[in-house]
Amino acid sequence: MYCRQPLRTIETIDDLHYNLQLAVELEFSTLPTYLQALYSIKEGSNTIAYSVIRSVIMEEMFHLTNAANVLIATGGSPALNSPEFIPIYPTFLPDNEKWFEARLLKLSPQALMLFLAIEMPGDLVPISMITIGKFYENIEKGLKYLDEKMGADLFPCGTLDKQIEHKYYYGGGGIINKVTNLDSALFALNAIIAQGEGAPNKHWDPDKSFPLEDTTGIESGDHQLFMQPRELSHFYRFNELKKGRRYVLGDSHNSGPTGPEININYDDVYNLKPDPQSGDYIHYPELEEMNFNVNVIFSRLLDQLHLAFNGQPKTLETAVCTMFSLKEVIQILMRNPIPDNELGEYAAPTWEYLSPEERTLSSIR
């Protein structure tokens, strides 16, 4: 991670770029945590948990794209292809939330607690505690300040072709709009806050019913962001899993979910080693090589994403193909028990960026 500092007022364009780069890192750093749990689910089991976590992951990638588009629109360049871009887990999130650590865990009650912390609405924690929503609100404040101070210079010409278009996005809620001015920049950031915490304004009433219809239909990803009455925010989607029930019409934050039961069978999950490090496989060359292969493909993905956000948006298509390959090699790794492990744990990826030189097999031998 780049140097972490407490939230501070954004007064210059450099401050803004620094915070938007942090935002890109923040969004990305949630992905290994969510993906580890998602892929730990055995084939064909826990389908509701699978689709809920997957839907959140799709939208985290949407958030990353929105943050990157605002960064590009204000003349910055997102940086994704370096070892520093990826934290070593367990880790504090890059927005300096110090009250929990993101980890790499199989799907478990403990993992769901962590997911709730990541998506925690700002209104549910003391004012001094940073949440992702508060982090973005600070950026929004900075954007407004700089827009007033710099006027049209805040959004220089020539960035439109570098931004990511909506056509690359599917499988989640929200629309990717290109950022051209303050309004479109705020729209992009508001989408992140609304989807994650689901409480984007200060006049929030915990007893007020959610805008739900008869069914909660959390899988729907096709509604436009602010016209999607059936989609819950990430926090409440995860809360459904934790409580083992759906939210239905009339439910509020304080009532909790009172709808149909959601069954999660934690036995139908690969017992992954928590927070794995590459050193864990040093005595098992075959696992070491498989984890290495995962990291090679993961590194290639980061290179491609870096290009996609730095003037070659079409590379995103290639990157999506690499995401599918990554899923495949991760699942192959995760089905392997670690030999001689007393806890019966399974191998899991370590999510490391390798430089091109490190990507030759000889580097691990």
Partner 1 sequence: MYRLDDFYDLSATLTDYPVTRLIGTGVGNEYNQTLSQWVRQDVLDELYHCFSQLERNNDGQVCPQALRHQLLSNEKYGPIARNIIKMWYLSIWYKMTDNWSMTYGIPAYSSPVIGVESPTPEDYIISNNAYIQGLVWPLMGSHPMGAKQPGYGTWSDAPLNSIASIHLQ
Binding stretches for partner 1 (CB under 8 A)? 42-44, 286-287, 290, 317-318, 320-325, 328, 331-333, 335-337
Q: Is the CB of 91 or the CB of 325 nearer to partner 1?
A: 325
Cis link prior to 90 (omega < 30° from 0)? yes
CA-wise closest residue to 189 among 26, 361, 1 = 26
Q: Which residues contact 41 (CB under 8 A, 6 or more apart)?
A: 49, 50, 107, 268, 269
CA distance 249 to 229: 11
Q: Is 341 exposed, middle or buried (0-12, 13-18, 19+ CB in 10 A)?
A: middle
Long-range CB pairs of 169-172, under 8 A, 24+ apart, other chains included: 169/61, 169/62, 169/65, 170/58, 170/221, 171/54, 171/55, 171/58, 171/221, 172/55, 172/58, 172/59, 172/61, 172/62, 172/221
- CB of residue 168 to partner 1, shortest distance in Å: 9
CA distance 308 to 110: 35
- CB of residue 46 to partner 1, shortest distance in Å: 15
- CB of residue 209 to partner 1, shortest distance in Å: 39
Q: Is the CB of 149 or the CB of 166 nearer to partner 1?
A: 166
Phi first, then psi, for residue 334 (nearest 5°) are -70, -15
Q: Is the CB of 143 or the CB of 316 nearer to partner 1?
A: 316
Write down the residue that tokens 């890192």 correspond to. 25
Q: Is the CB of 149 or the CB of 283 nearer to partner 1?
A: 283
Q: Is the CB of 11 or the CB of 286 nearer to partner 1?
A: 286
- CB of residue 47 to partner 1, shortest distance in Å: 14
Q: Is the CB of 117 or the CB of 333 nearer to partner 1?
A: 333
CA distance 140 to 159: 20
- CB of residue 94 to partner 1, shortest distance in Å: 28
Q: Is 15 exposed, middle or buried (0-12, 13-18, 19+ CB in 10 A)?
A: middle
- CB of residue 311 to partner 1, shortest distance in Å: 19
- CB of residue 43 to partner 1, shortest distance in Å: 5
Q: Is the CB of 42 or the CB of 103 nearer to partner 1?
A: 42
C-alpha 323, offset from chain centre: 14
- CB of residue 292 to partner 1, shortest distance in Å: 12
Q: Is the CB of 189 or the CB of 338 nearer to partner 1?
A: 338
- CB of residue 287 to partner 1, shortest distance in Å: 6
Q: Which residues pair with 102 in a beta bridge?
A: 91
Q: Is the CB of 54 or the CB of 237 nearer to partner 1?
A: 54
